Structure 1
Amino acid sequence: MKYVLFDVDGTLIDAVANQRQVWRTWAQQHGLDPDEVHQVALRTTPMETFARVAPDQDPRECLAALHELEDDDVRSGVYSAYDGASELLGALRPGAWALVTSNYEHRVRGRFARTGLPVPEVLVDAAAVEEGKPSPVPYLRAAARLGAAPGDCLVVEDAPSGVRAGLRAGMTVWGVNTPVPVDGVHRHFGTLRAAVRDILAFASGSPSPASPNTS
């Protein structure tokens, strides 16, 4: 049996503009340059971002303010599921797929409810593991909860840290929603829509085209 493990933001949900706005608002609240803060946030965890852009401020208070803004965005932000996400998730067998996110479960559920996407039985979020991506722990935890061997799992990701996590977990990793392949991916698709047929073929155990890159 084959299994599919999905990243969420940037893979199934288009939240790029939302994250940019959340960080912009946070930066303005703290008297910092929004563009500079966002560029740092793209490459680091929130706590690392605070250490670099606001070293004189309490990181716990910084994180609390960021979390409040993110929760507000779940309730009122404008975002959407990527084309193909609803069709893809609806076609997968229950118990054969999971979500693995660096976000928190309540936000994922809120966004999925607003975009009409189904939530699987297994959802591994930031609170479920001590080590986040690029550690392999989140993907290995999801596989264990599904009863899956790592070699039977396909990871679908858009971010370098997630790709590294999947590779370190010993899984097949496909990249989506990026103009060029993220280093290390076994296959690359420019959009999620372009990957739907092949992901479903993997999940069913059927052969799919062997080309490493698909536009």
Structure 2
Amino acid sequence: MASDLVEPGPRKSVLFDVDGTLIDAVDNQRRVWAAWAGRYGLNADEVYRVALRTRPLETFAKVAPDQDPRKCLDALHELEDDDVRSGDYAAFDGASELLGNLPSGAWVLVTSNYEHRVRGRFTRTSLPLPRVIVDAAAVEEGKPSPVPYLLAAEQLGVRPENCLVIEDAPSGVEAGLRAGMAVWGVNTAGPVAGVHRHFASLREAAPSILAFARLEGSAGEG
């Protein structure tokens, strides 16, 4: 009978940042940028401080404005690709179980890195891959612009208000908020400004993330 039909609710999706959220690669990033800075005679700590807030081409413009940005990028890519093959890193505790239990097609990766590196790291850490990865090459504007997260929602066919962003960094949190999405912070000692919920670890957040994806909870709770 028509009166017995239940109208399905809006489909929800989880949009994950990668480095610092699913993959513990902070030390790797620091080593790569230190090696890059060494090639150009720059202060490694200063370069890394800028790199945390900007995409590579923007970083080069700030720390090495007299250098050819394409050659700078080639050097960085060489170092990062080598790290994917031989670097020592791991998935955060609970990542494999969480991703493996999410409904198929209900999650996506949104990264400032490049897809081939993400695939390499996920393969080495035995993490499952989603069907959609929005990487640095997919957008003209990176985080903190909302463009990467809005593109991910568009590719998934989900409205921004039905998306949950999982982030660890201020620029990613800002990107998710500007996209009109719920944003939860993980893997930080305290909440990043603006997050709707904060969890000290990904494992701590996992039950709530699964509940959201299965339409059992609200991203704004807590």
Coarse TM-score class (shorter-chain normalised):
over 0.9
1:185 to 188, 195, 198: 195
Q: What pairs with 1:31-70 in structure 2 (closer than 5 Å)?
A: 31-70=41-80
- Aligned residue type for 1:46: P
Alpha carbons 2:167, 2:183 under 8 Å: kept: yes
Q: Does 1:2 align with 2:27?
A: no
Q: Displacement of 1:208 after TM fit?
A: 6.5
C-alpha displacement at 1:210, in angstroms?
A: 7.2
Runs of 4 or more, structure 1, over 4 Å off, are: 208-211
1:48 deviation in Å? 2.6
Please give the root-mean-square deviation of Cα atoms over the aligned residues, in Å: 1.5
* In 1, Cα distance between equivalents of 2:63 and 2:174: 26
Are 1:92 and 2:107 counterparts?
Answer: no
> Could you report, residue by residue, the CA deviation over 1:150-209 in whole angstroms, capped at 9, with x for unpaired residues?
111110001111111111111111000111111110000011111000000111111369
What do the CA deviations read for 1:106-135 (whole angstroms, capped 9, x no partner)? 000000000000000111111111111111
Amino acid at match of 2:160: P
2:81 equivalent in structure 1: 71
Structure 2 counterpart SS, 1:5: strand
The answer to whether structure 1 residue 130 and structure 2 residue 140 are counterparts is yes
Segments of structure 1 that go 5 or more residues without pairing to the other structure are none
Q: Distance in 2 between matches of 1:181 and 1:51?
A: 30
Partner of 2:158: 148
How many equivalent residue pairs? 212
**Following TM superposition, by how much is the alpha carbon of 1:54 offset from its aligned partner in structure 2, in angstroms?**
1.8
Residue 145 of structure 2 aligns to a residue whose secondary structure is coil
Instruction: Normalising by structure 2, report the TM-score.
Output: 0.91
SS in 2 for 1:154: strand
Distance 2:87 2:36 in 1: 15
SS where residue 138 of structure 1 aligns?
A: helix
Offset of residue 104 of structure 1: 0.5
Amino acid at match of 2:217: P
CA distance in 1 between counterparts of 2:153 and 2:95 reads 21
Q: Is residue 2:111 matched to residue 1:106?
A: no
Amino acid paired to 2:60: F
Q: What code does the residue aligned with 1:134 have? A: P
TM-score, L = length of structure 1: 0.94
Q: CA 1:23–1:208 in 2, change beyond 3 Å: closer, same or farther?
A: same
5+ residue gaps, structure 2: 1-10
